[in-house]
Chain A
Amino acid sequence: MISVAAQMVIQGIVLAGIFLTALYALLQKDLLASALMLAAMSLLMSLEFYLLQAPDVAIAEAAVGAGVSTLVLVLGIRKTGRWEE
């Protein structure tokens, strides 16, 4: 069992990571990079869910966010255009 303070620190880092990846994904002009950033956000999110004692949701978020939806977005980008004008 990790101490409360350590858990706070870990959570702080993960949450900051979630926010920064989301911000980067939305500011980025390159759609492919944003899709990958969203995948990173999903992974961090699933870590956060795990820390908040929701392992079910963590598995689902990892599989959906990092797997399926990234792939869907990448497919969509391949069919359209990579750059946001």
Chain B
Amino acid sequence: MTRTFSRIVETVADFFLIFIIVFGIYIITHGHLTPGGGFQGGVVLAAGILLLLVAHGFSFARKIPEELLSDLEAIGGIAFILLASLGFGQSFFYNILWHEKLAFAEQVGRFFSGGAIPLMNLSVGLKVVAGITSGMFALSLFGGEES
């Protein structure tokens, strides 16, 4: 049960991992322009990391410290709330960066548009990657039978 897969599987997984990660990052960063956003990209990235987990065996999960993941998750959450709080001059979640032309305020359709939304997508993506990965790692390490 604890045998990892063959060398071929590992290599193929490593190869595809690059594409999965690029695709995930694309989905997150273009969230305000194209379908997708923080959550979708985050799940895709998490799925990539989990592919590593499957291909390289579950002991791989031990190499990534649990604390790092929970820190990243917390940072993602705080960043999201801070960005939402920026709008307190008007109302919570008010997109002040865009309405006041402070940052990311180019014309709709350009990459640097959308105000706080791309930043929010980033923080949500961070939170989702860290959350799902840590949940899965906890699950896969559970019971300590693979060692």
Asked whether, in the complex, the Cβ of A68 is within 8 Å of the Cβ of B47, the reply is yes
Asked whether, in the complex, the Cβ of A56 is within 8 Å of the Cβ of B47, the reply is no
Among listed A7-15, A24-32, A59-67, interface-contacting one: A59-67
Q: Report the Cα distance A59→B128, complex, angstroms.
A: 15
Asked whether, in the complex, the Cβ of B35 is within 8 Å of the Cβ of A59, the reply is yes
Q: What does the 1/0 interface line of B24-43 toward A look like (CB < 8 Å)?
A: 00010000000111011001
Residues of A within 8 A of B12 (CB): none
A16 interface hit (Cβ, 8 Å): no
B46 interface hit (Cβ, 8 Å): yes
Asked whether, in the complex, the Cβ of B47 is within 8 Å of the Cβ of A67, the reply is yes
A62 to chain B minimum Cβ distance, whole angstroms, is: 9
Asked whether, in the complex, the Cβ of B136 is within 8 Å of the Cβ of A71, the reply is yes
Tell me the chain B residues, 124-144 only, with Cβ under 8 Å from chain A.
Answer: 132, 136, 139-140, 142-143
What does DSSP make chain B's interface, helix, strand, loop or mixed? helix
Given A58-B35, A64-B43: A79 touches B143 (CB 8 Å cut-off): yes
Asked whether, in the complex, the Cβ of A56 is within 8 Å of the Cβ of B43, the reply is no
A72 interface hit (Cβ, 8 Å): yes
List the A residue with the shortest CB-CB distance to B142. Answer: A79
B46 to chain A minimum Cβ distance, whole angstroms, is: 6
Number of A interface residues in the complex (CB < 8 A): 15
Q: Report the Cα distance A79→B50, complex, angstroms.
A: 17
List the A residue with the shortest CB-CB distance to B146. Answer: A78
Q: Report the Cα distance A79→B2, complex, angstroms.
A: 12
B8 interface hit (Cβ, 8 Å): no
Listed in ascending order, the chain A residues whose CB lies under 8 Å from chain B are 55-56, 58-60, 63-64, 67-68, 71-72, 75-76, 78-79
> Could you give 17 example pairs across A and B, Cβ below 8 Å?
A56-B36, A59-B44, A60-B40, A64-B43, A67-B43, A68-B46, A68-B47, A68-B50, A68-B132, A68-B136, A71-B54, A72-B136, A76-B139, A79-B139, A79-B142, A79-B143, A79-B145
Listed in ascending order, the chain B residues whose CB lies under 8 Å from chain A are 1, 27, 35-37, 39-40, 43-44, 46-47, 50, 54, 132, 136, 139-140, 142-143, 145
4 closest residue pairs by CB, A with B: A55-B35, A67-B47, A63-B43, A59-B40
